[in-house]
């Protein structure tokens, strides 16, 4: 079914045409009519399926219709998102899809100077996209009011709950007008998401695209069983292949992401990194460089990568295998977006084989095992060269050592100096 069959405003159809969308994706086909009719909605859809346009297009349509009846007063729609990057991305989408409409949008999120955000609000906006923390802060100081709000949208609801935003969301929703349309988008339908729906929505319609926790069909997945100390050389070998042009690499921890980035830089790979210890400016710059193709590789942790939409990611590499199967689904959803094809590669050392088993059980699929021809999987751990930092010990080993130290603490008294003070050893 083409877009014009929905009856969307002509200005919105023009923007869709400009974006080059020939037809709605399944989640858009299912969600757009329901939202246009004013229903509450829970949409469970695989990542990268066009979820953003599924709520932004009908939201703009409704706002545009109200505008026809008279100038819009106050903030009419609020979108909550888990991360700053996602909030900015949604704002950019709204600007693109609403470019022919007299509707203004602002993004409110932490990590940047709030004055610019307050200034944008003062100019008068009809849509606010926000992360919960900064929004509550500004509301507490009367910088914005929602008494004229008509639509509330929770994007990546499951992620917001995972990130501990439940209390903030409850406080926020408690302040909003009771009569409103509430949409909830989530990658998974957990008990917690269902509970939010029960409390915040009125007779919601349900849209579920694809099976739960099923990675997008457009992603080709495979596994390299590789010893942990050979992950770096294997990654480097893969990156040297010509088809690896835009590669998103996931590390489990921030310092792991830092170390991997340094290694790749030393090997002359154009690489940028994205994790929560970086400033907002650094994060946006890294994302932009990767989007523009100035960097071949983006090394990221899960926290910032979820929901991020980057065109043409050729490969997602799970350098560290995700502990949680749902994170796996999200990570690999960064490629193969909007029905394009992509590859997802996972490095699995022996100690992570149990995580792989659990994932395969969860997605009901055995992933293909691959081996890179000519790569020495039995190379020894390289001897440290002078100046190398000693390798980090495994956290389990460190905990054991600390416990052992505690129990072996000497009970004998420390000899005292003649002056009564403790003598130095
Ligand atoms: P999202 O799931 O909202 O992050 O969207 C994933 C990607 O799909 C984005 O790059 C959108 O621009 C693109 N997209 C959204 N809707 C369509 C459509 N109907 N046809 C083609 N691409 C689309």
- The tokens for 229 are 């100390």
pLDDT of residue 205: 92
d(CA 2, CA 406): 69
Of ligand 1's listed atoms, the one at least distance from the Cα of 52 is 3
CB 86 within 8 Å of CB 309: no
Give the position of tokens 């010990």. 393
- The tokens for 121 are 């609000």
Q: Which has the closest alpha carbon to 128: 172, 169, 87, 71? A: 87
pLDDT of residue 216: 59
Domains and CATH numbers, the chain: 3-209 (3.40.50.300), 219-369 (3.40.50.300)
With both helix axes pointing from N to C terminus, report the angle between 132-140 and 166-175 in degrees, rounded to the nearest 10. Answer: 40
Count the Cβ atoms, other than its own, within 10 Å of residue 293. Answer: 11
CB 360 within 8 Å of CB 366: yes
Give residue 338 CA to ligand 1 midpoint distance, Å: 5
Give residue 27 CA to ligand 1 midpoint distance, Å: 10
pLDDT of residue 109: 92
The radius of gyration of the chain's CA atoms, rounded to the nearest angstrom, is 25
Give the distance from CA 16 to its chain's centroid. Answer: 24
- pLDDT by residue, tens only, the chain of 425 residues: 789 899 999 999 999 999 999 889 889 999 999 999 999 999 987 667 889 999 999 999 999 999 999 888 999 999 999 988 899 999 999 999 999 999 999 999 988 888 989 998 888 999 999 999 999 999 988 889 999 999 999 999 988 998 889 999 999 999 999 999 999 999 888 888 888 898 999 999 999 875 444 555 678 899 999 999 999 999 999 999 999 999 999 999 999 999 999 999 999 999 999 988 888 888 889 999 999 999 999 999 987 667 677 888 899 999 999 988 878 888 887 877 655 678 999 999 999 999 998 888 877 788 999 998 888 888 887 666 555 555 555 555 666 677 677 666 554 444 454 544 443 33
Q: Which has the closest alpha carbon to 54: 18, 102, 103, 21? A: 21
Q: How far is CA 352 from CA 66, 224, 238, 323, 358, in A?
A: 54, 12, 21, 9, 10
CB 175 within 8 Å of CB 145: no
pLDDT of residue 269: 96
Give residue 168 CA to ligand 1 midpoint distance, Å: 29
With both helix axes pointing from N to C terminus, report the angle between 254-266 and 231-239 in degrees, rounded to the nearest 10. Answer: 50
pLDDT of residue 58: 98
pLDDT of residue 17: 95
Of ligand 1's listed atoms, the one at least distance from the Cα of 48 is 2
Residue to substitute in 21, 27, 50 for testing ligand 1 pocket (most ligand atoms within 8 angstroms of CB): 50
Q: Which residues line ligand 1 (CB under 6 A)?
A: 21, 24-25, 28, 48-53, 309, 311, 337-338
Give residue 231 CA to ligand 1 midpoint distance, Å: 33
- Is the pTM above the cut of 0.75? no
pLDDT of residue 211: 47
Give residue 25 CA to ligand 1 midpoint distance, Å: 8
DSSP-derived letter for residue 4 is: G
CB 164 within 8 Å of CB 141: no
Of ligand 1's listed atoms, the one at least distance from the Cα of 309 is 4
Of ligand 1's listed atoms, the one at least distance from the Cα of 47 is 2
């Amino acid at each position: 079914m083409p877009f014009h069959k929905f009856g969307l405003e002509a200005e919105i159809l023009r923007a869709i045409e400009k974006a080059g969308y020939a037809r709605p994706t399944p989640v858009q086909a299912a969600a757009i009519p329901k939202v246009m009719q004013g229903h509450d909605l829970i949409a469970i859809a695989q990542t990268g399926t066009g979820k953003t346009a599924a709520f932004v297009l009908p939201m703009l349509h409704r706002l545009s219709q109200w505008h026809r009846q008279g100038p819009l007063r106050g903030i009419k729609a609020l979108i909550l998102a888990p991360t700053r990057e996602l909030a900015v991305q949604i704002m950019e989408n709204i600007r693109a899809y609403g470019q022919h409409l007299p509707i203004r949008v602002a993004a409110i999120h932490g990590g940047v100077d709030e004055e610019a955000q307050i200034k944008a609000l003062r100019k008068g906006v009809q849509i606010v996209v926000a992360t919960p923390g900064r929004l509550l802060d500004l509301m507490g100081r009367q910088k914005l009011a929602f008494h004229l709000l008509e639509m509330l949208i929770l994007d990546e609801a499951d992620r917001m709950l995972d990130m501990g935003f439940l209390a903030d969301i409850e406080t926020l929703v408690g302040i909003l007008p009771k009569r409103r349309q509430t949409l909830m988008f989530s990658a998974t339908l957990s008990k917690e998401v269902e509970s939010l729906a029960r409390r915040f929505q009125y007779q919601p319609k349900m849209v579920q695209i694809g099976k739960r926790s099923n990675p997008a069909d457009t992603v080709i997945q495979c596994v390299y069983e590789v010893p942990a100390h050979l992950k770096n050389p294997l990654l480097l070998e893969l990156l040297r292949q010509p088809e690896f042009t835009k590669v998103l690499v996931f590390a489990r921890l921030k310092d792991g992401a830092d170390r991997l980035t340094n290694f790749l830089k030393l090997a002359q790979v154009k690489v940028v990194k994205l994790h929560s210890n970086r400033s907002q400016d650094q994060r946006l710059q890294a994302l932009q460089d990767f989007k523009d193709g100035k960097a071949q590789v983006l090394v990221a942790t899960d926290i910032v990568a979820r929901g991020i939409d980057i065109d043409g990611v050729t490969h997602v590499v799970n350098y560290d295998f995700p502990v949680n199967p749902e994170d796996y689904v999200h990570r690999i959803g960064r490629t193969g977006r909007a029905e394009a094809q992509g590859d997802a590669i996972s490095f699995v050392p022996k100690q992570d084989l149990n995580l792989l088993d659990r994932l395969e059980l969860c997605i009901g699929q055995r992933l293909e095992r691959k081996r890179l021809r000519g790569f020495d999987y039995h190379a020894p751990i390289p001897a440290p060269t002078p100046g190398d930092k000693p390798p980090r010990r495994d956290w389990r080993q460190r905990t054991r050592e600390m416990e052992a130290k505690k129990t072996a603490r000497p009970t004998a008294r420390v000899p005292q100096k003649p002056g009564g003070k403790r003598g130095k050893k």
